[in-house]
Structures are given as structure tokens and as C-alpha cells.
Chains A and B, each alone.
Chain A
Amino acid sequence: MSASGPATESGTLLQIEDVGKTFQMGEVAVEVLRDISFDVRRGELLVMVGPSGSGKTTLLNIMGGLDTPTVGDIWYGEQNLAVASPRELTRYRREHVGFVFQFYNLVPNLTARENVFVATEISKKPLDVDETLEMVGLGERMDHFPSQLSGGEQQRVAIARALAKNPQLLLCDEPTGALDYETGKNMLRLLVDLSNTLGKTILIITHNTAIAPVANRVIRLRSGEIHEVHDNPHPQPPEEITW
């Protein structure tokens, strides 16, 4: 685990307090998130489930510093992301967060390895690119372009890219959403392993409730509000779950 952490005791990485988000769509204001409060604990595997449109991506974006809440605070150590400047948010993303997107978002004109380089080039203490790619099982195909890789392989590149920056927090938006059952399961395996071996804090959001049992903690979102948070002292290995 990375040595440089924020000065938080009690193992809290991120503290979300009364966050709300409203989108202004011309005349109408759409309230997408309301009264969201919870902590993200250091090293946990957190799964957030909720139906489509419940505001999962919006919340993830706010937690990752891609967006700011309309009300409320998000504390990352001493820093309140809710009032941070765009430049501070960029630094936060650059140094502390790794994203894995549903559609991988690889740069088509770069090979797998180069796609990871794009991330490591701007981080302070990156992991070795080739080792990271091997860790996600892509040692053989590093010099392939995204169009030459399957969906599962592309997702692995995306995970390697997020990991190689060596961030505190890995945010995964529907990491299995675009994958078939088997590949999806492998992906979960990988994330669980990363959480166990590297001690990364990982947040997975999904509308697939079947995934929830692999987590240390599950947050259920419904219509922009937290419906339920429950601890899971005995997470199931991904092989044992089905959907």
C-alpha cells in the first residue's frame, strides 16, 4: 500500500456528508442525489448497487473528483472536494484515484502498454507498467491495440491503467456490465484479489445485486437516496455467486 496517505485516523479514506446533486436542465431542476452520507474505509471492497438511473454514476463521479456536489461535503483527509478548485480536483484525481469505466475508455490509437503509460506518465509513484499488465493477466498482449483485444481484455487494460497509477482509491463503474458471464466473473475475481493482495480501497458500482456478496460492505441506492448500508463480515468468493 502506498505510504503517502492523508492524515486520517480511524481508517476513513473518504467521508461523504449530506451530499446532494441537482442538475439544471433548462427550466427544470432534476434532483439526482439527496442526503447521501457514508464513509469509505481504507482497504475495504465496497459495492454500491441500485437500479438504472438511481444516481450511482453521479455519486461515483463526485467521489472521484470528476464532478462536484450541489450541497454537502466530501472530505478526503483535510481536503473538502466539494469546494476544491478544478486544478485541485485534477491533482486529487491524478494522485489518489483510479477509474475503471464501463466501456473501458481506452485510447484507440495506443497499444495496451501505451494506454497504461498515459496514466503512469503523470503520476508520482507509478507501478511498473509491464508488471501491472502481467498482474491483470495481459502479459502476452501488451503491444496490441484496443481494437485487437476482446472486451474482457480491454477491461483488464483499463484496470491496469487505473492500478498502475498506484492510487488510494479504485472506482469501478459497472466493471462487468459489458462483459459476458464468465468474463465478468473473472473480472470480479481480479478486483477481489487486488483488494486482498494490494490492500486497495475499491468501490464497485453496479445495478447487478448478485455481485453484492463479494463486498465487505454494500450500499443500496434508490432514487438518489441511500436505502441501506450493511456490513458483510464474510464476503463470498466470486466463484460462488451466480447471476
Chain B
Amino acid sequence: MSGIGTGYDLSVTTYSPDGKVFQTDYAQKAVDNSSTAMGIKCKDGVVLAVEKLVLSKLLVEGSNRRIFNIDHHAGMAVAGLQPDGRQIVNRAQDEATQYKSFYGESIPGSVLCERVASYKHAFNLYWSMRPYGVSSLLAVHDKAAGPQLYLVEPSGIAHRYYGTAVGKGRQSVKTEIERLKFDQISCRQAVVECAKTLYKVHEESGKPFELEMSWICEESGWKHARVPAELVAEAEQQAKAAAEESDMED
């Protein structure tokens, strides 16, 4: 690994001869090594889900949140360096409250995404700061554009998605969800799909993990909220059953 960018990777203000900024790439690696986070925009809302590896039995369940509220109508799931992620969440929260205080309306999804992306990008420009090692999955609902899902990468690249994933299992998750019909699937179904996918992808690791899920839909009053515990439990049961089934088929 250490031979790759030799000499051109010491600072974010240095290009390599083949046009890369290695520090930005390395920030992306920090995200790629994190546990999987995914999001699905359904026909009637958005669902976010994170696979949280349990690092120790001493940890209280449900602590170490990976999904945060940005405003009533927006939430963010964080993958990568968690302390960096907390800063991004704070920044997004500030952007949202300042926007509302000035314009009198909730920040639209596209604007919030732009603000987070511009913020992250700034840290790829200056020698004195390192890029944030964080990818942010933004779930937003506004009246004008309905439910939206955005992904903002450490470089500041941002796109709007029907479904996507970041972290260790992202390739497998994306392959799994590619087959979904996003304009037909409901939030409740998506909750189950997320659970199934994360369980399937996690199979490979073997360590215990917690599932953290949130959604924005009519059932949540169009507010970003945790998926109710019973639904998560039910989804996990279905996921475990599906995983066992596929085991038996082997």
C-alpha cells in the first residue's frame, strides 16, 4: 500500500502526475473500511439502515448511534471515521436551522446536499486541513420534491439515488438492491429488504452486529424517525430466516 503514491500523497494540495489527489482517495479508503450503511428511496418514503458491528459485550445496546436527525424532515447516516462524522452532522444541523431561520421554510433536500458537499469539498482544497473521512447518506423529505436520498462522499461529490450503499459490503448490497423496483416498493417492504441485505452481506464476517434503521414516510408523519422497534425485530426475523434458507440451499 505504501508504495502507491510515493511523494505525491503527502498533502491534499498536491496532484500526482496522473491527475489524482491521493489524500482524497485515502479519505475514501477510510469510508470503504467502515461497516456498511445503506439507503433506499421507495415510492412512499426513504429508509436508511446501518450495520453496527458490536465491538465489545461491555457496550450498551443502541448506543453508538450512526444515524442522526438533521432537522425534522431530514436525517443522516454516517460511514467512515465516526468523530469526523459527528462534525459533519453538526454542520448539517447548523445549515438546516440557519436556513429555516432566514428563509422561513425547511431546507430543501437538494440545498442541504449542496451545503454538505461544498463543506466537505473545502477540506480537499487547503493544505492546513485533511479531508473528512466520512460518507453521508442523507434522507430528506420536502413538499416540492417529495422523499429524496443523497450520498455525499469525502471528496464532496454528491448524487441523488434510488438506492445505494457505502462501507465494506457496499458492492454486495448494491448488487442485491439493484433488482428492486424502486417505484413500486413501499417503505415497510424496504425495511425488510434492508434487513435481509445487511444480514446476507454480514454473513461473511461472522461477528455479532446491531441493525440501526430510520425512515421518513407517511407513517412517521413525514418526519425522520427510527423505524419502530417491533418492525425492526420483525424484519430481522425475516432476514435471519432468509439467510438460513439460503444456507440450506448451498
Q: A and B: partners?
A: no
